[in-house]
Chain A
Amino acid sequence: GAVVSQHPSRVICKSGTSVKIECRSLDFQATTMFWYRQFPKQSLMLMATSNEGSKATYEQGVEKDKFLINHASLTLSTLTVTSAHPEDSSFYICSARDSSQGTDTQYFGPGTRLTVL
């Protein structure tokens, strides 16, 4: 199956710093990637849709200036958490859409655990 990687898998940072998370589709091209957030013992919540070559679209309540998304190529999307605060601590998961076989399936990365001190 299609493989999606994320880097780093875990990051600890100080409050006020920025953190960049990378999401890569390893064996397919993805014009669209998605970023989700998962709080402990809760479900995934869609944050934003990352579109290659255009601006990301954000879900209601997600601050676009805080969560910067860049989708510079067909295999890479980045999420930058700017001026991180402890309440941003969470598990961030990306997915990449594979539309190559006529169906629309999202493949998920392993996630990035962000802890803001």
Chain B
Amino acid sequence: AQSVSQHNHHVILSEAASLELGCNYSYGGTVNLFWYVQYPGQHLQLLLKYFSGDPLVKGIKGFEAEFIKSKFSFNLRKPSVQWSDTAEYFCAVNLWYSGGGADGLTFGKGTHLIIQP
């Protein structure tokens, strides 16, 4: 079964600092990759996703992620964080089947990001 590991469980940064959150997955087949964000008291929201094509994907709120197939990685980046980026960030993966469709998501354990003013 596939698994997803997020290297940093807690990250504390100051405003304007650059952010990179690591994500590695364990499956070598065709996968779809996602980053979700959960702001305090809110539900999961999709930040960005990778299905195919350009391995550098841009999402909402200035976030981007790069898919490096050789490293099984999909790290999330933002050049300059804001206090409002304080949230829980989840990397997720699912498998794409040749007949079309995909299955449920396997999530990483999440990274709690705190941005200090």
Contacts and interface: CB of A to CB of B under 8 A. Distances in A.
**A and B: interacting chains:** yes
Interface of A: 1, 32, 34, 36, 42-46, 49, 59, 93, 95, 97, 99, 103-111
* Interface size bracket, B side: 20 to 34
B101 A32 contact: yes
Interface string B32-64: 101010000011111001010000000000000
25 contacts: A1-B46, A34-B104, A34-B105, A36-B105, A44-B44, A44-B90, A44-B105, A46-B105, A49-B103, A49-B104, A59-B104, A93-B43, A95-B44, A99-B101, A103-B51, A104-B32, A104-B51, A104-B96, A104-B101, A105-B34, A105-B46, A106-B34, A107-B46, A108-B36, A111-B43
A106 B102 CA distance: 10
Interface stretch (B21-29, B70-78, B79-87, B107-115): B107-115
Q: Is the interface of A mostly helix, strand, loop or mixed?
A: strand
Contacts of B36: 108
A36 B110 CA distance: 15
A109 B43 contact: yes
A43 B108 contact: yes
B109 A43 contact: yes
Given A44-B90, A44-B105, A93 B44 contact: yes
